[in-house]
Chains A and B, each alone.
Chain A
Amino acid sequence: MTIDFWTLGLQAINVGVLIWLLSRVFWTPIAAAIGARQTATQTALDDAADVQAKADAALADVTQARAGIAAERTAALAEAAREAEAQSKQAAAAAQTQADTLLAAAKATAMAKAEDDRAAANAASATLAVAMARKLLAGLDTQVVQAAFLDRLVAGIAEMTPSDRAALVATPGGIDLVSPDALDAAAQAKVTAAVHKALGGKPDLQFVTDPALIAGGELRTAHFTLHNSWRADLDDIAGALTDAA
Chain B
Amino acid sequence: MMSPLESTVLFSIGPVPITQAVLTTWGIMVVLVAGAFAMTRNLTVRPSKRQAALELIVATIDTQITETTGAAPAPYRGFIGTLFMFILVANWISLIPGMEPPTAQLETDAALALLVFASVIWFGVRGAGAGGYLRSFTRPNPIMIPLNILQSLTRVFSMFVRLFGNVMSGVFVIAIVASLAGLLVPIPLMALDLLTGLVQAYIFAVLAMVFIAATITDGAPTTQKDS
B107 near A4: Cβ-Cβ < 8 Å: yes
Whether a CB of chain B sits under 8 angstroms from the CB of A29 is: yes
Hey, which chain B residues are within 8 Å of A40, CB to CB?
45
Whether a CB of chain A sits under 8 angstroms from the CB of B82 is: yes
Whether a CB of chain B sits under 8 angstroms from the CB of A25 is: yes
Interface footprint category on A = 20 to 34
Whether a CB of chain B sits under 8 angstroms from the CB of A64 is: no
A33 near B7: Cβ-Cβ < 8 Å: no
Contact with B along A129-160 (1 / 0, CB 8 A): 00000000000000000000000000000000
With A3-B110, A22-B85, A37-B45 known as contacts, the answer to whether A11 contacts B40 (CB < 8 A) is: no
Binds A, one of B29-37, B184-192, B211-219: B29-37
A25 to chain B, nearest CB (A): 5
With A30-B55, A34-B58, A34-B59 known as contacts, the answer to whether A11 contacts B47 (CB < 8 A) is: no
With A18-B86, A22-B81, A34-B58 known as contacts, the answer to whether A29 contacts B40 (CB < 8 A) is: yes
With A7-B21, A7-B22 known as contacts, the answer to whether A30 contacts B107 (CB < 8 A) is: no
B33 to chain A, nearest CB (A): 5
Hey, which chain B residues are within 8 Å of A3, CB to CB?
106-107, 110
* A33 to B7 alpha-carbon distance, docked (Å): 42
B184 to chain A, nearest CB (A): 33
Whether a CB of chain A sits under 8 angstroms from the CB of B15 is: yes
Q: Chain B: which residue is nearest A16 at the CB level?
A: B115
* A27 to B77 alpha-carbon distance, docked (Å): 7
Hey, which chain A residues are within 8 Å of B114, CB to CB?
8, 12
Hey, which chain B residues are within 8 Å of A224, CB to CB?
none
A4 to chain B, nearest CB (A): 6
Contacts of B92-107 to chain A: CB distance below 8 A: 102, 105-107
B102 near A33: Cβ-Cβ < 8 Å: no
A20 to chain B, nearest CB (A): 8
Q: Chain B: which residue is nearest A17 at the CB level?
A: B29
Hey, which chain B residues are within 8 Å of A14, CB to CB?
22, 25-26, 29, 111
Q: Chain A: which residue is nearest B109 at the CB level?
A: A11
Whether a CB of chain A sits under 8 angstroms from the CB of B78 is: yes
Known contacts A3-B106, A26-B54; 18 further A-B pairs (Cβ under 8 A): A3-B110, A6-B17, A7-B108, A12-B112, A14-B29, A19-B78, A19-B83, A22-B32, A22-B82, A25-B36, A25-B40, A26-B39, A28-B78, A29-B40, A30-B58, A31-B62, A33-B43, A33-B44
State the B residues within 8 Å of A (CB): 5, 7, 15-19, 21-22, 25-26, 28-29, 32-33, 36-37, 39-40, 43-45, 47, 51, 54-55, 57-59, 62, 74, 77-79, 81-83, 85-86, 102, 105-108, 110-112, 114-115
| 16 cross-chain CB contacts under 8 A | A6-B15, A7-B21, A10-B111, A11-B110, A12-B114, A15-B82, A15-B112, A21-B33, A22-B81, A22-B85, A23-B78, A25-B37, A26-B36, A27-B58, A27-B77, A34-B59
